[in-house]
Every structure is written in C-alpha cells, then in structure tokens.
Structure 1
Amino acid sequence: GSTIMRMDEGMDTGPILAQAALTIDPVDTGETLTARLSQQGAELLTETLPRWLAGEISPQPQDQTLATLCRPLRKEQGVIDWTHAARTISLAVRAFNPWPAATTTWNGVSLKILRATAEPELVLDQPPGVVVATDGRVVVATGAGVLRLEHVQLAGRSAMSISDFLRGQPGLLGSKLGAA
C-alpha cells in the first residue's frame, strides 16, 4: 500500500499522515505493481495534503514493531535456480519484472523469463532446468513441480510468446536451462 508521512532523520520512520492498502493481484509484476502504487500514492497525496494544511490531520507515530526493511535489488538476484520450487521461481519472475528480470542461460546465452506460471502438482522425471513439452505446454522441471513458460526474451532479441520462440528455436525443447 501507500503511506503519506512526515520526514524525519530515519529511513521511512516519520509520523504517518495517511495510509491506503493495496491488494497484490495474482498476475501483478514488479512493473504493474509499481504503476498501481504510483497511482494510489498520487491520489492519496492529493486527498491528504489539503487536510494536512487545514490542520485536520494529526500525525500518528509509526509502530516500529511492524516495520520491514529490504535491501536494494541486485542483478544477480534475478538468476533462476531451477532446484527451487516452481512457485518460488514463478514469484521471482513476477517480482523481478522488469528489473533485474528473472534470467537463466540457454546455450550460453542469457534468456529472460518474462511470464511463467507454477504448476506445482505436475512432476516430471527430469532434472531441474530441463525443458519439455507436455499436454500442449512448455514446462521446465524444478525442485518441486514445473514452471510453465509463457513469454521469454533471448538476449538481443524481442520478447515473444513461448510458441513463437519455439518456431525459431525448436532446440529449446529437451535442453537444460542454466547449464554452463
């Protein structure tokens, strides 16, 4: 959600003037969530500022026991570890879109996974990182379940659906992602 607060000497520790919650949708990515939060924050600010200036709002101290801290993202955090569970990888794909992007390698070239869905109930007899086609879907074996690929982008190329990618790169099937 969004918070309007007064600044003080700490990082995000000033007294709160207004807050609004925001539900993270199952299809949200870092990019879509940022856009929604920007819109929400702007609306909250335009509602709050006149009331603050009119003396209608009393700042409320923050409850430091509810504070969460995070470090800035680093590019290497986007590198996919195929031994992790499909759900964990799918959340990383959403969170790291557009930056640092969830990436792996294929034939020594960087491959961004732009959209994918976890299918934790499907188990393949393949090592993590192996790409197969099953029931009309293209999936990657993971440490728990599979990740269904939907949109990808090979380094230096345009983003595309996995079906379009396979028309030009059929060798993806049967290969192992992330292998050096």
Structure 2
Amino acid sequence: MKISPRIVFMGTPEFAVPSLEKLVEAGYPVVGVVTATDKMGGRGGKQLLESPVKVAAQRLGIPVLQPKNLKDPGFQNELRALNADLQIVVAFRMLPEAVWDMPELGTFNLHGSLLPKYRGAAPINWAVIQGELETGATTFFIRHEIDTGDILQQLRIPIGENDTAGDVHDRMMHDGANLVVDTVRQIEAGDYELRKQDDTAATPAPKLNREMARIDFDRPVREVHNFVRGLSPWPAAWTLLGGEQLKVIRTRVEAARTEGAPGTVVTDGKTQLKVACQDGYLYIHELQLAGRKRMAVEEFLRGVDVAEGTVLG
C-alpha cells in the first residue's frame, strides 16, 4: 500500500489558500501549516487579524505554527516533530537552510512567473507593467539564492491587454493550486526531471511601494496603461488632481493625435474622462480620490467637477 508524503504547508495570504485546500481535497496528509503571526489592524488598530492561510488551516483542522523567527530553535524543533516528508511554500517568506533542507523529499515553492523571468517579490505586477502577453507559474526546489532553484513544472497564463495585476493574480491563484498538486504527484511518484534555470535570462521583480507608483503621462500611452494596470489594485498608480492624490485603477488606450500637454484632461463632465499622453489618450474607467471609495468614472464625475483642460500631475 502506497503511503502519501506527509506535507507541511507554508503560506500567508489569500493567494496561498486554494493550494492548501486542493492538497487536502486530493487526499494528501497536510500535517502542519506555517504562517505569519497575528497582528492588530482594522479601524483604530484594535482588531486581531489572522492570516487567510491560518483561517483556512483551522477550518480544515490542521495544526498551525506561527513563528516570529524562522531561525528560532524552538520553532525548528516543533517543525521537525511534524516529521514531514515534503514542504511546500506558497507566498511566504525566505526560509533559512535549516528549514528548507529539513524534509527528505525537499521543499518546493510556487512562484508567480515563468522563471527565470521576474525573480523577486512582485512577479505578476512587473509582467503586466512590462506589457507581457503571457506569464505563468513555476514550481521549483528551494536553494540558497532566492527564486533560483531547479524547476519542476511550469504553466503559462495569458495576459489580456486590459487585464490588471489583480485579474492575473486571481486566475493564477487557482491555476497555481492545480500546479502544486500536480507537482506533488510527480514527486510522490519519483517521476520528474529537474531543469536548471538560465541565469542569463533572469529579470527582476522588486517589491512595490507607493512612492514608485506616481504616473508620468509624458510617456507612450501604452506604457502608461501598462503601468496603471500593473499596479492595480495595489499599491495603485496615482496622480494629483487639484493637489489631492487620485488613484487610477482601470484604464484603456486610444491611439490618437492629442491636444495639450501630457496630463491634460479631456472630459464631457458626465461619462468620459481621458488624459493626454505622448501618442494617445488614456481613458480612465475606475478611480479613487483620497479619502473616498473606488468608483466608476460616471459616479466620480457626478460628485467631482473636473474642468476640461485640467492638467493632472
């Protein structure tokens, strides 16, 4: 009788939850989950926030470990006591060698790109920002340098011309979960071939922040559009309207001869708001003014008077 490998799952955000759920649905014994520590948040910072993976693990009846320090000997002893054959990492943090080298079958990670492209913390975002027509997901065995281990499996995911990073994230969250289960099946059967990454083809995907998200309209309109959708929904590309921060969430492109300087607004004051770029107009469909909710452009224009010829920046 074949005995399935004992698995420890490591992850924190919503992106990782379908992978955990599908492993359990497939009948694999997930003997423990490692996730981020709880934190205080919400209105006034008075609400205890648990990670989505912790909530899912408790619902599934799986023991949860929440170490502050992955190098802590006490945590490592607890992890070792779970006697895992295989560890799986989906959207967690860097592991020390003592952790990733612990199980007999190794530790593999699900990464949101077609490695070696877009190594780093924000692979989905940067693929969209760079105007890629497709991206994908990769499972690979963890080694010392981040996102450099030998590849187990990959799948390709198309990127539509108006897809946001959030759209791609939501598709990859489920397609990647299936890839995780398929990878476990291959490891369980011992039926896989590892492929080394070509470091010369590697591209970076550094962490995002709000400071880098300011829109420069003095660029080709397609580049501006890609920038906006690559930063949507977070941290959200932004500009200034009358000195207030205006987040731009969804856009589309019109290639046309423009009038006025880059950043100049053309609007009917009711349903249409577009902004001049170098070689066309950026139509804004969804946006958010500081202190207000996100809304469609029609709702926004009902409450905010944006004059024709206003310059955003």
Deviation for aligned residue 1:49: 0.4
Counterpart of 1:74 in structure 2 is 209
Counterpart of 1:123 in structure 2 is 257
Q: Secondary structure at the match of 2:138?
A: strand
The one-letter code matched in structure 1 to 2:146 is M
Residue identity over aligned pairs, in percent, reads 35
CA distance in 2, matches of 1:45, 1:124: 48
Deviation for aligned residue 1:41: 1.4
Counterpart of 2:304 in structure 1 is 169
Deviation for aligned residue 1:55: 0.7
CA distance in 2, matches of 1:155, 1:61: 47
Query: Mapping of 1:10-21 within 5 angstroms?
Result: 10-21=145-156
Cα deviation 1:76-97 (Å, max 9, x = unaligned):
2210111112111111111000
Deviation for aligned residue 1:172: 4.2
1:151 pairs with 2:294: no
With normalisation by structure 2, the TM-score equals: 0.53
Distance 1:85 1:116, change over 3 A: same
Q: Please identify the structure whose Cα radius of gyration is greater.
A: 2
CA distance in 1, matches of 2:223, 2:193: 41
Query: Mapping of 1:134-145 within 5 angstroms?
Result: 137-145=272-280
Cα deviation 1:60-107 (Å, max 9, x = unaligned):
222223222222122222101111121111111110001121100101
Deviation for aligned residue 1:171: 2.9
Q: Secondary structure at the match of 2:238?
A: strand
Q: Secondary structure at the match of 1:22?
A: strand
Deviation for aligned residue 1:17: 1.1
Q: Secondary structure at the match of 2:260?
A: coil
CA distance in 1, matches of 2:160, 2:252: 14
The one-letter code matched in structure 2 to 1:118 is V
Aligned length: 176
Q: Which has the higher contact order (CA 8 A, sep 6+)?
A: 1
CA distance in 1, matches of 2:275, 2:166: 24
Q: Secondary structure at the match of 2:197?
A: coil
Q: Unpaired segments of 5 or more residues in structure 1?
A: none
Q: Is the Cα–Cα contact under 8 Å of residues 80 and 103 in structure 1 kept in the other structure? A: yes
Counterpart of 1:57 in structure 2 is 192
Query: Mapping of 1:20-99 within 5 angstroms?
Result: 20-99=155-234
The one-letter code matched in structure 2 to 1:67 is A
Q: Is the Cα–Cα contact under 8 Å of residues 152 and 161 in structure 1 kept in the other structure? A: yes
Give structure 1 regions of 4+ aligned residues with deviation exceeding 3 angstroms: none
Counterpart of 1:2 in structure 2 is 137
Deviation for aligned residue 1:170: 2.2
CA distance in 2, matches of 1:70, 1:130: 31
Deviation for aligned residue 1:124: 2.5
Q: Is the Cα–Cα contact under 8 Å of residues 6 and 15 in structure 1 kept in the other structure? A: yes
Cα deviation 1:23-50 (Å, max 9, x = unaligned):
1122321111112122121101101102
1:106 pairs with 2:252: no
CA distance in 2, matches of 1:63, 1:174: 50
Q: Is the Cα–Cα contact under 8 Å of residues 166 and 172 in structure 1 kept in the other structure? A: no
Deviation for aligned residue 1:164: 1.6
Q: Is the Cα–Cα contact under 8 Å of residues 17 and 58 in structure 1 kept in the other structure? A: yes
Q: Secondary structure at the match of 2:283?
A: strand
Q: Unpaired segments of 5 or more residues in structure 2?
A: 1-135
